[in-house]
Amino acid sequence: MTVAGRFAPSPSGDLHVGNLRTALLAWLFARAGGRDFLIRMEDLDRVKAGAAQRQLADLAALGLDWSPPVVTQSERLSVYAAVVEELAAAGETFECFCTRREIQDAPSAPHAPPGAYPGTCRDLTHAERAERRRHRPAAIRLRARTRTFTVHDVLHGEYRGDVDDFVLLRGDGTPAYNLAVVVDDAAFDIDQVVRGDDLLSSAPRQAYLAQRLGHPVPEYAHVPMVLNDKGIRLSKRDGAITLAQLAEHGYTAPQVLGMMAVSLGLAEPDEPVTASELLRRFDPAALPRTPWTFVGPR
């Protein structure tokens, strides 16, 4: 079996410097560990026409390579549905008719963490479920058998996070993020997940689901975010932050790669570098543990 790392963007727009830096780190981690590297387009939500193609072009412009094919989640809906059907047949799921507001306003279960699903629909009778279906389509939730789960992260060490009865399928039938990523990572032998540390809290749920499905739990590395000058995660309103926008101000893709390399302690300011050269210098233990503040030209 060939194990792999991956980068899994949502094709909702062009990649910004924060996304590109995470992609670079995912590539470096994978290649340094002798892994294959894959790309997955997580297109189950909002999609912008042409964004996927531009994202791939930007990654290639930085010198990153990957093995085909690029996986597209919207082409795998039947796979996710089959997994949920199997769990449902084994009594591992239940229908939930709650809105977000109802969950927010409901009293929490004893010892449950803030924001956890309170179990409102977990033990409805057959008649109660039938009545609720008349008014609202059901989401499908996993019957969690633990409140917490521990994962190991290369940068954060042991991390114990909350697990509740999280959603597998939304009310409109769309697979939830926690389901799709677990199924896809297992299907394509992804044994290393490198992504932004804003997603660290989701790792215990995903690792728990992987274990429930009989899949190996991947190695995690949740890397520091890229922030704007106000200490907030980069967004479209932060000026020139994509390769195309930076090119309008005279920055080439190799120069942007160089800036990211400096932020990671892998290059000196204004030093010409390539992705291959950065790979030779890469040491996960020496990576910065704090966010990088990027202020692009306005």
Q: What is the pLDDT of residues 130-189, one digit of tens each?
A: 999 999 999 999 999 999 999 999 999 999 999 999 999 999 999 999 999 999 999 999
170 is in an annotated binding site: no
Averaged pLDDT, 208-222 = 98
Beta bridge partners of 68: none
57 is in an annotated binding site: no
Which architecture, in CATH terms, is 4-74+188-206+222-293?
A: 3-Layer(aba) Sandwich (3.40)
pTM for this model (two decimals): 0.94
pLDDT digits (tens, 9 = 90+) for 167-182: 999 999 999 999 999 9
Chain-centroid distance, C-alpha 169: 17
177 is in an annotated binding site: yes
Domain spans of the chain, in order of start: 4-74+188-206+222-293, 77-183
74 is in an annotated binding site: no
Dihedrals phi, psi of 217, to nearest 5 degrees = -85, 125
Q: What's the confidence (pLDDT) of residue 268?
A: 97
Which residues are CB-neighbours of 258 under 8 A, at least 6 positions away?
Answer: 267, 270, 271, 272, 273
Q: What's the confidence (pLDDT) of residue 37?
A: 98
10 is in an annotated binding site: yes
Which residues are CB-neighbours of 107 under 8 A, at least 6 positions away?
Answer: 118
Select from 215, 239, 219, 218 the least CA-distant residue to 229: 239
121 is in an annotated binding site: yes
Averaged pLDDT, 16-25 = 97
pLDDT digits (tens, 9 = 90+) for 236-285: 788 889 999 999 999 999 999 999 999 999 999 999 999 999 999 999 99
Banded model confidence at residue 47, pLDDT cuts 50, 70, 90: very high
Predicted confidence (pLDDT) at residue 298 exceeds the cutoff of 80:
no
268 is in an annotated binding site: no
Chain-centroid distance, C-alpha 12: 14
Per the annotation, the verdict on 236 as an active-site residue is yes
DSSP label at 238?
A: S
195 is in an annotated binding site: yes
Predicted confidence (pLDDT) at residue 292 exceeds the cutoff of 80:
yes
Predicted confidence (pLDDT) at residue 113 exceeds the cutoff of 80:
no
Active-site residue, selected from the candidate residues 75, 236, 244, 265: 236
Beta bridge partners of 142: 93
Which architecture, in CATH terms, is 77-183?
A: Alpha-Beta Complex (3.90)
Beta bridge partners of 42: none
Higher pLDDT, 227 or 102: 227
159 is in an annotated binding site: no
Beta bridge partners of 36: 4
108 neighbors 114 (Cβ within 8 angstroms)? yes
Predicted confidence (pLDDT) at residue 1 exceeds the cutoff of 80:
no
Q: What's the confidence (pLDDT) of residue 205?
A: 98
